[in-house]
DNA sequence: CTCACTCCCGTAAACGTTTACGGAAGCCGC
DNA sequence: GCGGCTTCCGTAAACGTTTACGGGAGTGAG
């Protein structure tokens, strides 16, 4: 934990000025033997540049922040997993924020960007986009990329998916299998995905000519235990032949509940999750799931941010990742 | 992306010196109406302090780094999940490094601590502890906490688990169920957990009076697909009545393989994983797994680091987290 | 020999904070 | 009315870099 050498130390040992040291270390044109002297001194002293001083002067931290609701959720893990290597390859560190889906926390992350501890931010808000969010986004002191849909004219890079299409794919698949009583286990309606999926479910039903039956819909939370409870509540008052779950965790909970109720999957109830996380293939029967391309969304977001850091003036871009349906045993029968 | 206000801006607007502004913002004793003026100016301007300038002066970044092999591995996710809130509560940000288990990457993380971009580091090395590691650890420019066992006299805080006991618990459990031909699917032997678990397996067999049969041991990698391949190889040449897997991912792969070979779990082959990740409860049958307390290790590591940041001089501490066996359906039959 | 030009390098300022130091103002007791 | 104390604040230095600017040495041409 010794006090490290600074360019001043190196300059003294090499017998040159700190300016020369800095030039050598940054590869600016310098005479050959000065380079050698400085390099030798730096090596001997084990010099490592000080990040704080460098960013103070250059206004670059080479850090990027990623804010999401919960690192325990495999969707976000998939994103982080893709974001990290992209940033690393470009020489950036990753700062991780878990907001627990708390709006104040999210706003706080946005505000503290002003501390300039990071050059940019990727945020995947769970709740939110009150006017307050939008104001902060518009006036953000550093580039921000939002994963999730942002209102039309918000001047921000944006990676979105089309959960409407995703839900439709799932319902069409179930309809095609002859299921007509398709229940829906959703997450909280005050979350962005919760609200979007609720609307999409209603629309997709209508498109298929199926009636909307409130008894077939339950709202819980995006966790496994909550999914199980929601499934039990739903099964108490109706008997669907299929269940769409707003994410894979809920689907796992539903699987637990169905097992307890001695209902077979998929024979009695076909089950579809969303997000297509690794849990979908760990479960048994393996879960049919709507892939919303979390990994790809993460990667694209990181790329957008890096582009933006290169060229701050370019017009905001919107990238849309198409959902796909990954069919597995929980709807199509035995493995 | 406007240029933010600095304490100089505030000082001008409030009609005081920058020293007064700094004092007010840091809560040092100041006259009441100066406080008001400064606060008013700061609020109006939306002042946010600059992190780089602050850390340059104070030598504190309020960041902590965590380096692990692979954020896709649920073990590390469990750690991050615990580490993050502990740090956040203490006002620290989390910087995440994925090393892919690459030794050079690990060394690089250690070296770059010298940039002082973080006040401390939690590292969970997968390979390593060559002399090079130890030298770097000893001379680290900031406190380091290692998750995983470190040689006896390394002057570093250390959170370890006792995988020897963990493996013994698993084998005793299987032995108690009447299993006598217990196979072992391990990860690479040049990794720390791989080597430790191999030795523990041999010892535990001996303690139970069972012979060591090389045909019952297969080495692969810590991934699901590798686990499946290893299981297939093992099943080609022997017919165990139980399989211990060096982590849950391998166990999931083994489950895949066993299913393909039409072997029933646990009737034909009892299956035990390690790490007790969420995958263990997602699988079917649910997986008996040796919990190595990943979550707790993460939390304890974060706490150790925070303590160390308070008091750098205290003697290095070693915390040991006891493994436990979580028995589920993959050894004890129907749910 | 001198002038102009080039090539390197050193001096010093700047980034936005924190903080040591000393000065000004007010108050008290004598 | 003056010395001494306290309280508050401003000046300036410092943290470790990067970089604008200008000066000195060397070269070549006239």
**Order of strands, edge to edge, in the sheet holding B144-147?**
A318-321, A157-161, A144-147, A120-123, A63-68, A93-98, B93-98, B63-68, B120-123, B144-147, B157-161, B318-321
3-state secondary structure of A217: strand
In the Cβ-directed half-sphere of B74, how many Cα atoms lie within 13 Å? 27
Residue B235 predicted with pLDDT over 60: yes
Residue where the block lists tokens 């039959």 = B333
Q: B224-229 contacts: CB < 8 A, separation 24 or more?
A: B224/B249, B224/B250, B224/B252, B224/B253, B224/B256, B225/B253, B226/B250, B226/B253, B227/B185, B227/B251, B227/B252, B227/B253, B227/B254, B227/B256, B227/B257, B228/B253, B228/B254, B228/B256, B228/B257, B229/B253, B229/B257
Q: Which residues pair with A96 in a beta bridge?
A: A66, B94
pLDDT of residue B313: 83
Q: How far apart are CA A100 and CA A105, in angstroms?
A: 8
Provide mean pLDDT across the span A288-297.
98
User: Is position B45 within any domain?
Assistant: yes
How many domains are contained in chain A?
3
A91 and A198 co-located in one domain: no
User: Is position A56 within any domain?
Assistant: no
pLDDT in tens, A146-183: 999 888 888 899 999 999 999 999 999 999 999 999 99
Q: Which residue does chain B place closest to A254, by CA atoms?
A: B282
A286 at interface of B, judged by CB pairs closer than 8 A: no
B88 and B167 co-located in one domain: no
Q: What is the mean pLDDT of chain A?
A: 94
pLDDT in tens, B72-126: 999 999 999 999 999 999 999 999 999 998 999 999 999 999 999 999 999 999 8
B81 and B142 co-located in one domain: yes
Residue B261 predicted with pLDDT over 80: yes
pLDDT of residue B44: 95
A210 and A286 co-located in one domain: yes
Q: Which residue does chain B place closest to A251, by CA atoms?
A: B282
A60 C-beta less than 7 Å away from strand D? no
* CB atoms A52 and B49 under 8 Å: no
Provide mean pLDDT across the span A71-83.
96
User: Is position B170 within any domain?
Assistant: yes
B223 and B193 co-located in one domain: yes
Q: Nearest CA to A217 among A230, A226, A229, A206?
A: A230
B171 and B285 co-located in one domain: yes
pLDDT of residue B295: 97
Residue where the block lists tokens 């893990």 = A77
pLDDT in tens, B36-71: 999 999 999 999 999 999 999 999 999 999 999 999
Residue B326 contacts residue B166 (beta carbons within 8 Å): no
- Residues in chain A, how many? 335
pLDDT of residue A131: 80
User: Is position A55 within any domain?
Assistant: no
The alpha carbon dihedral of B70, B74, B77, B82 has a sign of negative
B129 and B181 co-located in one domain: no
pLDDT of residue A139: 87
Structure tokens at A240: 């669907």
Structure tokens at B234: 């093992």
Q: Which nucleotide is nearest to A20 (CA to C1')?
A: C9
How distant, in Å, are the alpha carbons of A321, B67, B116 from that of B306? 41, 16, 16
Q: H or E stretch including B173?
A: helix B163-176
How distant, in Å, are the alpha carbons of A79, A106, B24, B118 from that of A113? 21, 11, 22, 17
Residue B251 contacts residue B272 (beta carbons within 8 Å): yes
Going by their DSSP bridges, the two strands A182-186 and A324-326 should be labelled as: unpaired
B123-CA/C30-C1' distance, Å: 68
Q: How confident is the model at residue A243 (pLDDT cuts 50, 70, 90)?
A: very high
pLDDT of residue B1: 46
User: Is position A310 within any domain?
Assistant: yes
pLDDT in tens, A98-111: 999 899 999 999 99
| Domain with A183 in it | 163-292+325-332
Question: Which residues from B are below 8 Å from A284, CB to CB?
Answer: 283-285
Structure tokens at A177: 């299998």
B147 and B216 co-located in one domain: no
pLDDT of residue A154: 86
- Residue A202 is classified by DSSP as H
The larger pLDDT score, comparing residue A2 to residue A248, is at: A248
* Chain centre distance of CA B137: 17
Going by their DSSP bridges, the two strands B93-98 and A93-98 should be labelled as: antiparallel
Burial class (CB in 10 A: 0-12, 13-18, 19+), B323: buried
Q: Which residues pair with B289 in a beta bridge?
A: B273, B326
Q: How far apart are CA B251 and CA B183, in angstroms?
A: 12
B312 at interface of A, judged by CB pairs closer than 8 A: yes
Residue B333 predicted with pLDDT over 80: no
Name residues whose C-beta falls within 8 Å of residue A33's C-beta, 6 or more positions apart in sequence: none
User: Is position B287 within any domain?
Assistant: yes
Alpha-carbon gap: A296 to the closest alpha carbon of chain B (Å): 15
A34-CA/D26-C1' distance, Å: 17
User: Is position A1 within any domain?
Assistant: no
Provide mean pLDDT across the span B135-149.
91
pLDDT in tens, B294-306: 999 999 999 999 9
Q: How confident is the model at residue B246 (pLDDT cuts 50, 70, 90)?
A: very high
Report the residue from A56, A98, A312 with minimal CB separation from B84. A98
Q: How confident is the model at residue B334 (pLDDT cuts 50, 70, 90)?
A: low
Q: Nearest CA to B200 among B166, B172, B161, B229?
A: B166
Going by their DSSP bridges, the two strands B242-245 and B182-186 should be labelled as: parallel
A249 and A306 co-located in one domain: no
Residue B271 contacts residue B259 (beta carbons within 8 Å): no
DSSP states along B217-258: EEE--SSHHHHHHHHHHHHHH---SEEEESSHHHHHHHHHHH
Residue A335 predicted with pLDDT over 50: no
Q: How far apart are CA A268 and CA A258, in angstroms?
A: 9
Residue B129 predicted with pLDDT over 90: no
B114 at interface of A, judged by CB pairs closer than 8 A: yes
Question: Which residues from B are below 8 Å from A114, CB to CB?
Answer: 4, 46, 48
Provide mean pLDDT across the span A23-33.
93
pLDDT of residue A334: 56
Provide mean pLDDT across the span B159-178.
97
User: Is position B56 within any domain?
Assistant: no
- Residues in chain B, how many? 335
* CB atoms A1 and B143 under 8 Å: yes
Q: How far apart are CA A256 and CA A269, in angstroms?
A: 13
- Residue A214 is classified by DSSP as G
First to last CA, chain B: 57
pLDDT of residue B322: 97
Give the domain CATH number at A185: 3.40.50.2300
A141 and A191 co-located in one domain: no
A243 and A285 co-located in one domain: yes
Q: What is the mean pLDDT of chain B?
A: 94
pLDDT of residue B335: 44
B104 and B133 co-located in one domain: yes
Alpha-carbon gap: B130 to the closest alpha carbon of chain A (Å): 20
* Chain centre distance of CA B286: 24
């Amino acid at each position: 934990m010794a006090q490290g050498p600074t360019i001043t130390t190196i300059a003294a040992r090499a017998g040159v000025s700190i300016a020369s040291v800095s030039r050598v270390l940054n590869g600016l044109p310098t005479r050959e033997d000065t380079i050698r002297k400085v390099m030798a001194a730096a090596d001997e002293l084990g010099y490592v540049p000080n990040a704080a001083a460098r960013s103070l002067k250059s206004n670059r931290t080479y850090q990027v922040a990623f804010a999401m609701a919960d690192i325990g959720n495999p969707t976000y893990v998939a994103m982080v997993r893709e974001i990290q290597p992209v940033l690393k390859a470009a020489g950036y560190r990753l700062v991780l924020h878990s907001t627990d889906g708390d709006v104040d926390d999210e706003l706080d992350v946005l505000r503290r960007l002003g501390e300039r501890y990071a050059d940019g931010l990727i945020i995947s808000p769970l709740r939110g986009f009150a006017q307050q969010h939008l104001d902060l986004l518009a006036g953000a002191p550093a580039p921000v990329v939002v994963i999730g849909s942002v209102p039309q004219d918000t001047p921000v890079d944006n990676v979105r998916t089309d959960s409407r299409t995703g839900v439709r794919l799932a319902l069409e698949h179930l309809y095609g299998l002859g299921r007509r009583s398709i229940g829906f286990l959703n997450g909280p309606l005050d979350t962005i995905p919760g609200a979007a999926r609720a609307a999409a479910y209603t629309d997709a039903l209508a498109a298929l000519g199926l009636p909307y039956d409130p008894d077939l819909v339950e709202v819980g939370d995006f966790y496994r235990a909550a999914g199980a409870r929601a499934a039990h509540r739903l099964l108490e008052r109706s008997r669907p032949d299929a269940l769409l779950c707003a994410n894979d965790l809920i689907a796992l909970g539903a699987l637990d509940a169905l097992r307890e109720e001695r209902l077979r999957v998929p024979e009695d109830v076909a089950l579809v999750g969303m997000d297509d996380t690794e849990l979908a293939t760990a479960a048994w029967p393996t879960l049919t799931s709507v892939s919303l391309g979390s990994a790809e969304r993460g990667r694209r977001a990181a790329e957008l941010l890096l582009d933006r850091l290169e060229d701050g003036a370019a017009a905001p871009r919107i990238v849309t990742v198409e959902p796909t349906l990954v069919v597995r045993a929980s709807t199509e029968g035995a493995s």
